[in-house]
């Protein structure tokens, strides 16, 4: 019996690719190039499954042109805002993702950005690196203390819960806004806010961990920033679409915000060049899940979903 043919659209971990080659007829991308809509449409006639990343866009127009041979899209990501799930469901194409396995790594990056923005790490690093550190005084490089402060979390899913756990290690009081309240054993003492406005009012630090949906796109804007305490710090390791970047920039320039820590942007790759003028914005190139352990786990989770699908079973992470 012929093995199902699978296209892996980007270069994944060596362990993931080795397992895929063992179990499937695999088309790899050793150049790690980004695929266009035309590439996706063409390859859909040549494979039974696609294992893509968030860099491959399955919008409604692309989905409409997919070949009937394609039966499953097993995403190498948790977020699926690059997939039109309604259109894919209408075509009868199974879609899966990789939850759980990247929560720790992403929360680590969120805490790194929170600490870095609070303690002026980008500014200090550049000063030492450029040989410009030539003095000291009690007023030198004074930042914002993290310990004992209030952390607001928007989106108390898997990553948000790990972020809350890390924050408790700094004696932070955790507040959160979520679609539904968590049971006490998951809340772990965090304070639930059904109304976003009341969360914002008590957030010395605000960390975003919700998906990008029509309801959440632009959730951080001039109005919501105005409701934060003066000199608050915003951290985003979720999706760039959550933040109105012009409003964030204006709040940095006015001093309303003391800083920001960003791992994702409206334009990726590339980010927002206007942010680079401000040392109190700590930026990373969307590397929240970029650890060797997590990359293996994500790849294996995607392959687990393919294994189940082609064995005639229900994939554990099926979305449609």
Instruction: For the chain, state the CA radius of gyration.
Output: 21
Residues 6+ apart with CB under 8 A from 316: 304, 305, 308
Q: Which of 239, 245, 295, 301 is catalytic?
A: 239
- pLDDT at residue 66 is higher than 90: yes
263-299 CB burial, b ≥16 within 10 A, e <16:
bbbbeeeebbeebeebebbbbbebebbebeebbbbbb
3-class DSSP state of 40: helix
C-alpha to C-alpha distance for 140 and 225, rounded to whole angstroms: 28
Q: Annotated catalytic, 301?
A: no
Q: Are 128 and 238 within one domain?
A: yes
Task: Output the six-digit token pair for 191.
Answer: 């304070």
For residue 279, being part of any structural domain is answered with: yes
- pLDDT at residue 157 is higher than 80: yes
58 DSSP assignment:
B
For residue 179, being part of any structural domain is answered with: yes
- pLDDT at residue 231 is higher than 80: yes
Q: Which of 10, 19, 286, 301 is catalytic?
A: 286
Q: Mean pLDDT, the chain, as a whole number?
A: 97
Instruction: Say what the pLDDT of residue 279 is.
Output: 94
**CATH number of the domain bearing residue 174:** 3.40.50.720
Residue 14: Cβ within 10 Å count: 12
Q: Are 125 and 200 within one domain?
A: yes
Task: Output the six-digit token pair for 16.
Answer: 């993931």
Q: Annotated catalytic, 286?
A: yes
- Determine the structural domain holding residue 37 and report its residue range: 5-101+292-310
Average pLDDT of the segment spanning 144-152 = 98
Q: Are 218 and 74 within one domain?
A: no
- pLDDT at residue 93 is higher than 70: yes
Average pLDDT of the segment spanning 73-88 = 96
C-alpha to C-alpha distance for 110 and 177, rounded to whole angstroms: 17
Average pLDDT of the segment spanning 152-162 = 98
Instruction: Say what the pLDDT of residue 273 is.
Output: 97
For residue 318, being part of any structural domain is answered with: no
Is 313 in contact with 72 (CB distance < 8 Å)?
no
Q: Which of 21, 46, 268, 314 is catalytic?
A: 268
Band of residue 1 on the pLDDT scale cut at 50, 70, 90:
low
Q: Are 56 and 189 within one domain?
A: no
Instruction: Say what the pLDDT of residue 267 is.
Output: 96
Band of residue 179 on the pLDDT scale cut at 50, 70, 90:
very high
How many domains does the structure of the chain reveal? 2
Q: Are 113 and 261 within one domain?
A: yes
For residue 250, being part of any structural domain is answered with: yes
Q: Please report, for residues 58, 82, 83, 190, 249, the alpha-carbon distance to residue 86 in angstroms, rounded to integers and kept in the order given.
A: 11, 12, 9, 34, 34
Q: Are 112 and 191 within one domain?
A: yes
Instruction: Say what the pLDDT of residue 190 is.
Output: 98
For residue 316, being part of any structural domain is answered with: no
Q: Are 221 and 155 within one domain?
A: yes
- pLDDT at residue 17 is higher than 70: yes
Instruction: Say what the pLDDT of residue 8 is.
Output: 98
Q: Are 18 and 161 within one domain?
A: no
Q: Are 87 and 114 within one domain?
A: no
Band of residue 220 on the pLDDT scale cut at 50, 70, 90:
very high
pLDDT digits (tens, 9 = 90+) for 117-139: 999 999 999 999 999 999 999 99
For residue 319, being part of any structural domain is answered with: no
Q: Are 244 and 259 within one domain?
A: yes
Q: Annotated catalytic, 268?
A: yes
Average pLDDT of the segment spanning 198-205 = 98
3-class DSSP state of 258: strand
Q: Are 130 and 40 within one domain?
A: no
Q: What is the arrangement of strands in the sheet containing 5-8, beginning at the earlier edge strand?
A: 25-27, 5-8, 49-51, 72-74, 94-96
H helical segments located in the chain: 14-23, 37-43, 60-64, 85-90, 103-118, 121-129, 158-168, 184-187, 196-201, 222-226, 245-254, 292-310
Q: Are 264 and 301 within one domain?
A: no
Average pLDDT of the segment spanning 21-32 = 98
**pLDDT above 70 covers what percent of the chain?**
100
């Amino acid at each position: 019996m012929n093995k199902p043919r699978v296209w892996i659209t980007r270069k994944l971990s060596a362990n993931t690719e080795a397992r895929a080659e063992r179990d499937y007829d695999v088309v790899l991308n050793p150049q790690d190039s980004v695929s266009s809509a035309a590439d996706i449409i063409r390859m859909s006639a040549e494979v039974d499954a696609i294992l893509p990343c968030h860099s491959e866009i399955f919008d409604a127009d692309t989905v409409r042109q997919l070949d009937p041979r394609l039966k499953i899209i097993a995403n190498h990501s948790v977020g699926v805002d690059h997939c039109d799930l309604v259109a894919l469901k209408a075509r009868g194409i199974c879609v899966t993702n990789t939850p759980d396995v990247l929560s720790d790594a992403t929360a680590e990056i969120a805490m790194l950005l929170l600490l870095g923005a609070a303690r002026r790490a980008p500014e200090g690093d550049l000063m030492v690196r450029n040989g410009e550190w030539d003095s000291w005084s009690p007023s030198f490089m004074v930042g914002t203390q993290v310990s004992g402060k209030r952390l607001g979390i928007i989106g108390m899913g898997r990553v948000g819960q790990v972020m809350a756990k890390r924050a408790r290690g700094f004696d932070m009081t955790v507040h959160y806004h979520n679609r539904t309240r968590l049971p006490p054993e998951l809340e772990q003492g965090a304070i639930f806010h059904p109304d976003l406005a009341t969360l914002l009012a008590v957030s010395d630090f605000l960390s975003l961990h919700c998906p990008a949906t029509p309801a959440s796109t632009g959730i951080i804007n001039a109005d919501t920033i105005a409701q934060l305490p003066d000199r608050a710090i915003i951290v985003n390791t979720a999706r760039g679409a959550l933040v109105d970047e012009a409003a964030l920039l204006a709040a940095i320039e006015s001093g309303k915000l003391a800083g920001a820590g960003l791992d994702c942007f409206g334009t990726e790759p590339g980010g927002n060049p206007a942010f680079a003028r401000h040392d109190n914005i700590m930026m990373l190139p969307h590397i929240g899940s970029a650890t060797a352990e997590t990359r293996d786990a994500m790849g294996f989770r995607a392959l687990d979903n393919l294994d189940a699908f082609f064995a005639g079973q229900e994939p554990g992470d099926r979305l449609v």
